[in-house]
Amino acid sequence: MTDTANRTATGRRTYPGISPTTWEHPTDRAALAALRAVPGFDIVLKRLFAVIGEKSLRMYHEANTIKVSSQQFGRLHERFLECCEILDADKIPDLYVTQFPLLNAMTIGLDDPFIVVNTTTAEILDDDELHFVLGHELGHAMSGHALYKTMLALLMRLTLSGIPLTRLVFFGVILALREWDRKSELSADRAGLLCIQDPETAYNTFMKMAGGTRTDEMNLDAFLEQAAQFEQSDTWSDSLVKLLNTRFISHPFSVTRTAEIMRWIDSDDYAAVLRGEYRDRDNDDPDFRQDVRTAMAAYRERMAKSDDALAQTLSDWTERATGAAKDMKGRMRKPNASEDLEDYAWEPFDVDFFEEDEPEG
């Protein structure tokens, strides 16, 4: 791609033919690819979904929400059409507004996903912040996230239905889907940023999600500093608490999402897309193994650069284990390899703590 992209009427850059893999977070892509690689996983989900039916979900929203158009919620309609133009959506999803007192939006469906925005979101956010959220949800739709998000919601309902063994049967699947679900939000945030093309708007949106509408009593610089500090942990217990706090939530914490967007911008990948350097959907054929390799590389790089105590320890052990594996592979090629493998197995690690002291004398 060259820097010859068109612009919308408001001057925002468009990305003709952009592939969703351009904005997808590597951990999101790897997690979703792993789920899809399970034999029959998609088939089972679609059959389970058929019990409820996409049509019934759509009819519910047709009957009980407001369908956005040029006549209804016109500012959302205008902003959403611009998002679709920017990301060059093949099809414009239907957009609805529902009465609900929570700052949120969601993408639902199977073959024909649609987007629902809560009234609180439309009331609290300004036009640019709404633009970011609409781009976020469009990113979900274009990345094919709707099926898995809808199934996760249905499985959660089943676990609360009181049906015997339901919670036990679906517990592992729900945890796996939740882990992917949180990663998918990081991808969608990138899509939202590509639509609004203003990082400060994204940061302000996250700040409102965390603290509400009293922005006159909040400070963006202080919030960004808070996000940076949260990424650091001095102890293992801090890191463990973070993991436990996120295992059952649908979205990463607002400060985490802020830090992730900042990290993406600092990596220059965001600027490259703005320059017109991105993947073309017509020539993009993602490979599952490459997705996994990319995700693992991203994890290793993240841990190596992190100030988090747990991440630093895991990074150190990962490097030692990688070196040990390579060295052991070399020793296995020697004619008398078996003679020193047992002594070598624990060599790269500090295991003196686990060994008993030699008896004196």
Residue 85: HSE in the Cβ half-sphere, 13 Å Cα cutoff: 17
Catalytic residue among 82, 85, 129, 137: 137
11 backbone φψ class: left, alpha, beta (φ>0; ψ -120 to 50): left
Q: 7 has which bridge partners?
A: 13
Q: 105 has which bridge partners?
A: 117
137 is catalytic: yes
- Decide if 97 contacts 64 (C-beta within 8 A): no
157 backbone φψ class: left, alpha, beta (φ>0; ψ -120 to 50): alpha
Q: What is the DSSP string of 12-36?
A: -B--TTB-GGGT--HHHHHHHHHHH
User: Angle CA(132)–CA(186)–CA(178) in degrees, nearest 5?
Assistant: 125
C-alpha distances in Å from residue 266, one per residue of 259, 261, 270: 10, 9, 8
- Decide if 17 contacts 282 (C-beta within 8 A): yes
At 7, phi and psi to the nearest 5?
Answer: -130, 155
- 231-262 residues labelled b (16+ CB within 10 A) or e (exposed): bebeeeeebeebeeebeeeebbbbbbbbbbbb
- Decide if 10 contacts 75 (C-beta within 8 A): no
Residues with a known catalytic role: 137
